[in-house]
Amino acid sequence: MSGDPRKTADGLTYLTGFGNEHSSEAVPGALPLGRNSPQRAPLGLYAEQLSGTAFTEPRAHNRRSWLYRIRPSAAHPAFTRRDNGRLATAPFTDAVPDPNRLRWNPLPEPAPGTDFVDGLYTLGGNGDATRRTGMAVHLYHANSSMQHRVFSDADGELLIVPERGGLLIRTEFGLLRAEPRHVALIPRGVRFRVELLDDCARGYVCENYGAPFQLPDLGPIGANGLANARDFAAPTAAYEDVEEPVEVINKFCGNLWGATYDHSPLDVVAWHGNHVPYVYDLTRFNVVGTISYDHPDPSIFTVLTSPSDTPGLAGVDFVVFAPRWLVGEDTFRPPYFHRNVMSEYMGLIEGAYDAKAEGFVPGGGSLHNMMSAHGPDHDTFRRASEAELVPQRIDDGLAFMFETRWPVTLTPAAAGADHLQSGYDDVWQGLERHFRS
C-alpha cells in the first residue's frame, strides 16, 4: 500500500516508503480502478507499462509501474546519435586497470550554459551495460538548468548525490527536490529534467547497470535501523501539457541518442507501481556501530545495495559515513588499515572524513581499487593512536562510498586528468616503525 502523501518544507508532496505499490493522480479520476489497461483509459489518457525488471522476476524483486499519459511514449520520431560528451560506459577498456591509490580534486568550472547532461563526466566503472552488470562512477558540474530537453538512461538507474547546489528534478512521476545531504534515484528508463535551484550544481552519480538498489537485509540488527523504509519519498503525479519541441536524450548501450518530440514526454497524469524515482535524506540514516570495542566494517553503513547473483556480494553498495558517536574502548577508532577484495570509490559531500586529515575534499574523490592497501593517513594514525578515548562525536562531515565487487577501470580522461592529485601515496609516508622485539 502507498504511504500518505506528505507535504514537506520544500512545498512538494511526496509518497513515503521504499518499494511500495504507490499510486498518484494529478487529476481526480485519472487512475483506472480495478484494472491496469481498461478498454478506454480514463480522461482519454493512454495506459503504458514501464518495466524495470523482467515480467517473471520474483514478486519481491519485481519492479514496474503503470503510467496514464497524454501521449503514449511510442509516439516519437527516430532517435539519432548525439555527441557523448564526457560520458562513457562499461565495458571500460580504454585505460589499463590501475592498482594505485588515486585521489582527485573537484572538477573544474564548466563552460557557461552547461546543464546536468552536458556536465556529466565519467570517472570509470566496471561490468558491461549491455549485460546489465556493473556500475559507473560519474561526476556532474553544471551551471544551467536543462531547457527544452529531458534525459533517460536505458543502461541503468542513476543515484544522484548532490554535493553543491539543490536540484529540482522533474520526472514522469512528478517532482523531486534534492539538496546536498539528499540522494535522488532515477530508475532505469525514467525520463527527467534537472533544474538548478542555485547558480551551480555539483555532485556524484552512481550509474547502476545491475539489479535495482534495494534496502539491505538487517539480520540481527532487527526490524528497524540504517535507512528506514518510511524515509524514502517518491513524487506525486504532476504533468506537463506542453505542445512544443522537446529534445529527448536517451542513453542506450553507452551512446547518447536524441529525438525531438513535438510535446513534453513528462505528460503522465496518473501512475501506480513500484518502479519509481525517490529522494532520501541522508541525515535520517540511523547509524549503528560499536558500543564496546573495535571498528565495525563499513557495511554497517549501507544505505542501498544492488545484489548480484551471489548472495552477499553486491554489484554496488551505497554507503554513508554520517555523523555519529565513537565510544569504542581500547580501539583504534578511525577506519583501519586494510586491503579489500571489493573496490571503493569515496566522495565527500561536506566537511572532512575521519580517515584523512587533509586532501580529501568536498567534490573530490578517491579510488581504492581491489586489494589496494589503504587506511588512515599518517596524521590520523598518530592522532588516533594517542587520543584519550573519551566518547567523541564525529559530526564535521558527510562522506559516502560506492563499493563494488569488480575493480573500477578509469576512463582515459580521469586517468590523465589535471585534477588527479599527484603524490597521494605520500599520505602513508612517515608511518615509521615502532616494533620492539
Ligand X SMILES: O=C(O)Cc1cc(O)ccc1O
Residues known to be catalytic: 295
377 binds, among ligand X, Fe ion, none (CB under 5 to 8 A by kind): none
Least Å from the CB of residue 399 to ligand X: 8
Q: Backbone phi, then psi, for 105, in 5-degree steps?
A: -80, 170
Cβ neighbour number for residue 340 with a 10 Å cutoff: 16
Give the footprint of ligand X on this chain (CB under 6 A).
Answer: 295, 298, 335, 338, 340, 344, 355, 368, 374, 401
d(CA 380, CA 378): 5
Nearest to 215 by CA among 232, 200, 198: 232
298 binds, among Fe ion, ligand X, none (CB under 5 to 8 A by kind): ligand X
Least Å from the CB of residue 151 to Fe ion: 32
Are 126 and 90 contacting, i.e. CB atoms less than 8 angstroms apart? Answer: yes
Nearest to 24 by CA among 184, 306, 339, 239: 239
DSSP class of residue 105 equals: P
- Annotated binding residue at 368? no
Cβ neighbour number for residue 2 with a 10 Å cutoff: 16
401 binds, among ligand X, Fe ion, none (CB under 5 to 8 A by kind): ligand X
Instruction: Give the length of the chain.
Output: 437
Closest CB to ligand X among residues 279, 408: 408
- Annotated binding residue at 338? yes
Closest CB to ligand X among residues 169, 348: 348
Least Å from the CB of residue 416 to Fe ion: 25
CA distances, 147 to each of 119, 192, 194, 256, 312 (Å): 14, 11, 9, 17, 42
Least Å from the CB of residue 338 to Fe ion: 6
> What residue number has its CB nearest to ligand X?
335
Burial class (CB in 10 A: 0-12, 13-18, 19+), 331: middle
Least Å from the CB of residue 341 to ligand X: 11
Give the footprint of Fe ion on this chain (CB under 5 A).
Answer: 344
Closest CB to ligand X among residues 132, 324: 324
- Only one residue has cell 590523465, namely 416
Closest CB to ligand X among residues 231, 344: 344
Closest CB to ligand X among residues 71, 338: 338
Q: Which amino acid is at 268?
A: V
The SS3 call for residue 278 is strand
The SS3 call for residue 415 is helix
In sequence order, the 6+-apart residues with CB closer than 8 A to the CB of 425 are 100, 101
- Annotated binding residue at 374? yes
Please give the annotated binding residues for Fe cation, written as ranges.
338, 344, 374
- Binding-site residues sit at 338, 344, 353, 374
- Residue ranges of the binding site for homogentisate: 353, 374
